[in-house]
Amino acid sequence: MIPNACIQVHTSPVDRPSVPIWFAEVVIIVQHLAANGLLDVFAHEVRLVRGRFDSYEPIDFLALLIGYAISGERTLADFFERIEPFETEFMALFGRRCLPHRSSLSRFLADVDRPCLETFRALFQHHAFTDGWTLESIGGLWDRQGHRCIVFDVDATRQAARQRALPCGPELPATRRRLDAVCAPGYKGRKRGEVVRTRTTALQMHTRQWIGTYSGKGNGDYRDELASALQAITSYVKTFALTSEVALVRLDGQYGDAAVIAQIILAGVHLVTRGRGYQILEHPQIQGVLVHAPTANMTSINTGEVVELFDGGWLQPGEDFPQVRVIVVRHQAPAPEKSISVGKRINEWVYELFMTTLDVERFLVEDVLDLYHGRGAFEAVLADEDVENDPDRWCCYSECGRSPLANRVPMDMEPSARARTWHAGTTNARN
């Protein structure tokens, strides 16, 4: 080793915890929020009235959640343990005095009501939509007449949660699961689990900017979540002094019935969605179109199969509903023993329906189909955000996912007594 007189090494027997590696990132984020006035606005506009609030304000819990999100710690317990030596300095970044206790955080989150949430959401929309973006940089799609469209993707995904079987019996207390507050039985699709939670997201396709996210227990209320997403989309375009007709919303077949389509049209935006009411194929206008040559032909990129496209014109999907343009896509049906995942098999053909409010002068039938299939990019962005965590990891502080109390049950205890002890531990400390 080459000695250097400029370097001095000091040691001390005093134990000094190291500063977390993520603390610098917290400082940068907080300084950005403070410089834009977001911290002051949040502290003065977001209110939550509840009993036993003590000296804490919503800004204290926002600071805690921001730190936990940036830290990447596995659990809240790990985060509190890591931040404990620096909690005074951490809260000083937000202009606050002390860090809330973890039990105070859980009670706060349980008491957050809808007005408080909507106030925070409106604050987020007002500042996040325009932060760093201009009318030119948000992108767009220009149709054949030179009109600009901004494409938004709205979709609902479901997360299945697994639950451990608990012993039950007349001598045991009633079970209580923490997931009951956020999950409920519902459609799980191909995901393994017992209960599910639904999340509806809205994404600006050109900038990959999240416009909003809304969730509910079980299958959720997709109509109410769609209304919230449409409100966020219209607020987004109005922020840039654009009319709501500029917004073009792409949706899957879940939103393809007449009532939902009418809800979207009444919001003042354009739409492209897959239809799910195949009875419209029996309409005389559609039957008249199908007996003629197709409007266009396209070749599927994945299979190389040629599909036929028919422009069915404008129809009313139901009584007292606004008109919508119907596009029919058909291709040769596979062998009878093979099932189809999308569409309706009629004789030797498989039919698919697409609904839109875009005029034929602006978008041809092949343009509409290409636009809808572009939703695949949205699925990729959503997949990047979805890192599935086993609920055992966020419902219990134990590495193996079991209750700490359950791990301390003596194995030489009488079986029925051991079951009661383990059941009490999992009821209080597990989901």
Q: CATH no. for residue 263? A: 3.90.350.10
Hey, CA dihedral for 252, 257, 263, 267, is it positive or negative?
positive
**110 and 150, same domain (yes or no):** no
Q: Residue 328 is encoded by which pair of tokens? A: 């029919």
In-domain check, residue 12 = no
Query: Residue 6: inside a domain, yes or no?
Result: no
State whether 181 and 242 are in the same domain.
Answer: yes
Please give the torsion angle defined by the CA atoms of residues 54, 57, 63 and 65, in that order, rounded to the nearest 10 degrees. 80
Residue 258 in domain: yes
Do 80 and 166 sit in the same domain of this protein? no
133 in a domain, yes or no? no
What confidence score (pLDDT) does residue 377 get?
73
Cα dist. 112→48, 58, 90, 115, 303 in Å?
7, 10, 24, 9, 50
Residue span of the structural domain in which 210 resides: 141-385
Give, for all 431 residues of the chain, the pLDDT tens digit: 556 667 777 777 888 888 899 999 999 999 988 888 888 888 888 888 776 666 788 899 989 999 998 988 888 889 999 999 999 999 999 989 888 888 888 888 888 888 888 888 888 887 888 778 888 999 999 999 999 999 999 988 888 887 777 778 888 888 777 778 788 888 877 777 788 888 888 999 998 888 888 888 888 888 999 999 999 999 999 999 999 999 999 999 889 889 999 999 999 999 999 998 889 999 999 999 999 999 999 887 777 788 999 999 999 877 788 999 999 999 998 888 888 888 899 989 999 999 999 999 999 999 999 999 888 777 777 766 555 444 444 444 444 444 333 333 333 344 444 344 334 334 333 33
Contact 308, 297 (CB under 8 A): yes
User: Does 391 fall in a domain?
Assistant: no
Both 353 and 411 in one domain: the answer is no
What's the domain count of the chain? Answer: 3
Q: Does 194 reside within a domain? A: yes
Name the domain boundary from 128, 149, 175.
128
Whether 111 and 172 map to the same domain: the answer is no
Residue 160 lies in a domain: yes
Question: What's the pLDDT score for residue 75?
Answer: 85
Give the pLDDT score at 397. 43
Assess whether 263 and 376 both reside in one domain.
Answer: yes
Question: Within this chain, do residues 361 and 221 fall inside the same structural domain, yes or no?
Answer: yes
Q: Do the domain assignments include residue 392?
A: no
Among 105, 128, 151, identify where a domain stops.
128
Residues 300 and 415 in one domain: no
SS3 307: strand
Q: Which residues 6+ apart lie within 8 Å of 375 measured at CB? A: 153, 155, 250, 252
Q: Same domain for 201 and 258?
A: yes
Spacing of C-alpha 308 from chain mean position? 35
> CA-to-CA distance for 424 and 421, rounded, in angstroms?
5
CA 222-224-227 angle, 5° bins: 105
Do 177 and 280 lie in one domain? The reply is yes
Q: Are residues 343 and 423 in the same domain?
A: no
Check whether residue 192 and residue 306 sit in a common domain.
yes
